[in-house]
Structure 1
Amino acid sequence: MLKVLSPVPGRAVGLSEVPDPVFAQGMVGPGTAVQPTNEPHEALAPITGTIVKLHPHAFAVADDEGRGVLAHLGIDTVKLEGQGFEKLATEGERIEAGTPLVRWNPADVAARELSPIVPVVALDVASDVISRAVTGEVAAGDVLFQWA
């Protein structure tokens, strides 16, 4: 059982609350979302593994069994072209769950009239592989859901 951790502090709300139909309808993959606290913080690796993609606004980590988890820092934040995000790791790097990957401030994203919500999804799997998705307040590093 793989435990997927929250990359950010805030309130776990479920994918249906993401203001983007691709995430909200689970087309990217099953998971949940976190409405982050409006303060600067570091987004953490949700699992132990290798960073397979690292953009300023999003990252994907795959474990040794090939299970990938994507965390997307806000919606449409690709439009910011990296402004307000600082990468703290390197693509291809092997990391432990909880390793800081990106420094950002959700309040800055919201000030640009974009949603700072953070979808966290399991990649390339059916929706029934995740369980125990939490809701309510979470700290960065708390378990968000489990992957069978």
Structure 2
Amino acid sequence: MSLRVGSPAAGRVVALSAVPDPVFSQAMVGPGVAVEPVRSKSDVVAPIDGTVVTLHPHAFVVATGDGAAVLVHLGIDTVKRKGEGFELHVVKGEEVRAGQRIVTWDPAEVEAAGFSPICPVIALDASAEVLADLAVDVDVAANDVLFDWSR
């Protein structure tokens, strides 16, 4: 079975190694890619169908019924903003569909505040070998495919 993981935001897809945080760039959390988001106020959407199992203003995890979980992290060190600039549209425990709006934010405003707005999209508890067709160095719209996760 393959799980299609969509982009949470419009922007340019880059390799995880480009993320200015070793936890992500060295894939300590898991494999995936990152999206350098378009610098305008925009919605961030669910990468897969599932349940919102973790929800912070700056990060969320959506998990499928069979345990596949995808982490979306909005920017680097943005936890320090204590939710400022992030508007949540769902609650923890809510069932969501791929492409459904989760949070609204402004990457330009995050960048102006001194933080990288890059968005790692991570397959949790996975090995790099199970990810295929990684979109890298391409422009994507929200919900375009970033990679396929063989389960």
- When normalised by structure 2's length, the TM-score is 0.97
**Cα displacement (A) at 1:100:** 0.3
Report Cα offsets for 1:92-135 as digits up to 9, x if no partner: 00111111000000001100111000000000111211111102
Instruction: Specify the code of the residue in structure 2 equivalent to 1:55.
Output: H
The separation in 2 between residues aligned to 1:49 and 1:20, in whole angstroms, is 27
Q: Which runs of 5+ in 2 are unaligned?
A: none
| Whole-Å separation in 1 of the counterparts to 2:107 and 2:11 | 11
Identical aligned pairs, as a percentage? Answer: 54
Amino acid at match of 2:68: R
Counterpart of 1:140 in structure 2 is 142
Give yes or no for the alignment of 1:98 onto 2:99. Answer: yes
Alignment of 1:111-130 (within 5 A): 111-130=112-131
CA distance in 2 between partners of 1:67 and 1:141 (Å): 18
Secondary structure of 1:16's aligned partner: helix
Helix, strand or coil at the partner of 1:13: strand
Scaled by the length of structure 1, the TM-score of the pair is: 0.99
Matching of residue 86 in structure 1 with residue 87 in structure 2: yes
Counterpart amino acid of residue 106 in structure 1:
P
Structure 1 unaligned regions, length at least 5: none
Write out per-residue CA displacement over residues 32-65 of structure 1, whole angstroms, 9 at most, x where no aligned residue.
0000000000100000000001100000000111
Equivalent-residue separation in structure 2 for 1:38 and 1:126 (angstroms): 31
Residue 57 (structure 1) aligns with: 58
In structure 1, the residue corresponding to 2:102 is in which secondary structure?
A: strand
1:109 alignment partner AA = V
Secondary structure, aligned partner of 2:110: helix
CA RMSD across the alignment: 0.5
Superposition misfits of 4+ residues, deviation over 6 angstroms: none
Aligned length: 148
